[in-house]
Structure 1
Amino acid sequence: MKRLFTTLFIATFAITIVHAQNTCSTYYPMVDGAKLQYTNYNKKGKEDGKFNYTVTNVQGSGNNVSATMEMEIVDKKGKVYTSDYDIVCDGDIVKIDFKSMMNEQMLSQMGDVEMDISGTDIELPNSLSVGQELPDANISIKMKMGGAINMNTNVETVNRKVEKLESLTTPAGTFDCYVIYSETKTKMMMTKQTLPSRTWFSEGVGMVKQESYNKSGKLTNSMVLTNYSK
């Protein structure tokens, strides 16, 4: 259960930087049928699962567009978890409805679970520049897993800053990307930790790569865009 929840949570924060492009957003392919596949790698560079996303049910126009994101998580043992959730592009900001992500379909795959979610979404403006500071974000999840078993998780994403602009090549192609540094403060049960990460964003695609590090700054895992179509 804890492993599934951790995998899902990693996917959640990756998702907030993966989707939407039309006149409402610069960085995300918010187009019906757009598909993105990310491959997760451990610190030794070995494959550790995949995340597949498909954009569906795009509605609206101009600066107000909504869509449904279908998500499939394939862990390193080949087990598949599926769900879908809502995305809203409002003005120059893309937001994800975290509550819709934890829908009946996903909860049924996690067993007998009740969940309460609150917090603020991660925001990515349409215009980025080197040195720009971005707003913090947080999410709090309270889970009741049958009987008296409870698990509360709080995650803050802080110190978000655009570090540089660089070209990055992945199996999906070569992309000009802004690199954003951030730190994630996590409290899960009796565990507390603050870990840094970097994310590469490309116009019209969204997230191209994400690297996570331990408190000493050493790479612990990465997520790379390995297939993309729209």
Structure 2
Amino acid sequence: MRKLMFFVAALLICHVAQAQYFCTSEGSELHYVNYDEVGQSTSNETITVKNVQREGNTVKASYYDKIVTTKAKNNTSYTLFNWSYDGTATTCTEDLMYGPYIASDSDPARYNEAARLGLLEDKKFKGDNSFTLLNEAQAGTAIPDRHYQLIQNMLKNEITISGASYMGREQVSTTAGKFDCVKISYLKRTKIVLKSTNVRVTEWYAKGIGLVKSETYDMEGALKAKTMLVKKNIK
């Protein structure tokens, strides 16, 4: 009986580990390349998985993202993505304050909630920049709109995500392997002071990984940018 209980518990742990749309292996790395509209590399990203926590059906992890821009001075920047899974849905929130904190020459190891809240106030952040992926969403299922704003480079930025929906499932092949993905698409409107830019974004996410591929198009349907997972090192 005890062996059966241990077996069932192990199955449940494996189920949780495989159900979320992010990696839960501490120290794993995901490598991405960003391309422009003609297929030239514009930057490389290395994501390191840290702060993995599990409690019941809930699992959390942080993606520390180092971005190196091609052929540019002062070309390294950082951002942070916090992921969570509650047994039915995966939620991701980009910590938009982590990059400015690092850029101010502050010690990354000292970044904490107090520092984040201070920067949120300084950057006048308002709104919600999280997104959620449901376990078994069907093609055509709508994803709630979201909007947020903040001060960047002394200018007010407003970002609106609208018309988002699930497009079904697709297999995506990259140099990192083959992935069974959920496909989503949405409109992204970026307003900086009085200038607005609108694009259509399509993204593919795989369980146990996160983003595998992203494509951005202008409103005439021309490809403007692409991101690809090119290598993974799962611990």
**TM-score when scaled to structure 2?**
0.76
Q: Distance in 1 between matches of 2:85 and 2:136?
A: 15
Query: SS state of the match for residue 204, structure 2?
Result: strand
| Residue in structure 2 matching 1:136, options 139, 145, 151 | 145
| Residue in structure 1 matching 2:126, options 118, 123, 131 | 118
Query: Are the aligned partners of 1:28 and 1:206 in contact in 2 as well (CA < 8 Å)?
Result: yes
Match of 2:218 in 1: 214
Query: SS state of the match for residue 168, structure 1?
Result: strand
| 1:34 equivalent in alignment to 2:31 | no
Amino acid at match of 1:95: C
| Residue in structure 1 matching 2:199, options 186, 195, 201 | 195
Mapping 1:1-230, distance limit 5 Å: 23=16, 25-77=19-71, 79-84=75-80, 86-91=82-87, 92-96=89-93, 98=95, 100-102=97-99, 104-108=101-105, 114-120=122-128, 121-143=130-152, 150-230=154-234
Once the two structures are TM-superposed, the CA of residue 90 in structure 1 deviates from its matched residue by 4.3
Once the two structures are TM-superposed, the CA of residue 225 in structure 1 deviates from its matched residue by 0.5
Q: Distance in 1 between matches of 2:133 and 2:20?
A: 10
Query: Are the aligned partners of 1:86 and 1:101 in contact in 2 as well (CA < 8 Å)?
Result: no
Structure number with bigger Rg = 2
Deviations 1:206-227 (A, max 9, x none): 2110000111011011000001
Q: Distance in 2 between matches of 1:131 and 1:205?
A: 23
Amino acid at match of 2:214: Q
Deviations 1:17-65 (A, max 9, x none): xxxx972752211221121111001111111111111111212323333
Amino acid at match of 1:50: N
* Runs of at least 5 residues in structure 2 that lack an aligned partner in the other structure: 1-13, 107-118
Fraction of identical pairs, as percent? 23
Q: Distance in 1 between matches of 2:233 and 2:80?
A: 19
Match of 2:113 in 1: none
- Relative distance call for 1:94 and 1:31 in structure 2 (3 A) is farther
Amino acid at match of 1:36: L
- Relative distance call for 1:107 and 1:220 in structure 2 (3 A) is same
Q: Distance in 1 between matches of 2:173 and 2:81?
A: 29
Q: Distance in 2 between matches of 1:53 and 1:190?
A: 34
Query: Are the aligned partners of 2:41 and 2:70 in contact in 1 as well (CA < 8 Å)?
Result: yes
Query: Are the aligned partners of 1:23 and 1:62 in contact in 2 as well (CA < 8 Å)?
Result: no
Q: Distance in 2 between matches of 1:95 and 1:57?
A: 14
- Relative distance call for 1:22 and 1:32 in structure 2 (3 A) is farther
Q: Distance in 1 between matches of 2:86 and 2:99?
A: 22
Deviations 1:175-217 (A, max 9, x none): 1222211100111123112211111122222211000011101
When you count helix as a share of all residues, which structure comes out higher?
2
Once the two structures are TM-superposed, the CA of residue 102 in structure 1 deviates from its matched residue by 4.4
Query: Are the aligned partners of 1:83 and 1:106 in contact in 2 as well (CA < 8 Å)?
Result: no
Q: CA RMSD in A?
A: 2.5
Q: Distance in 2 between matches of 1:163 and 1:85?
A: 24
Q: Distance in 1 between matches of 2:194 and 2:105?
A: 26
Aligned residues: 202
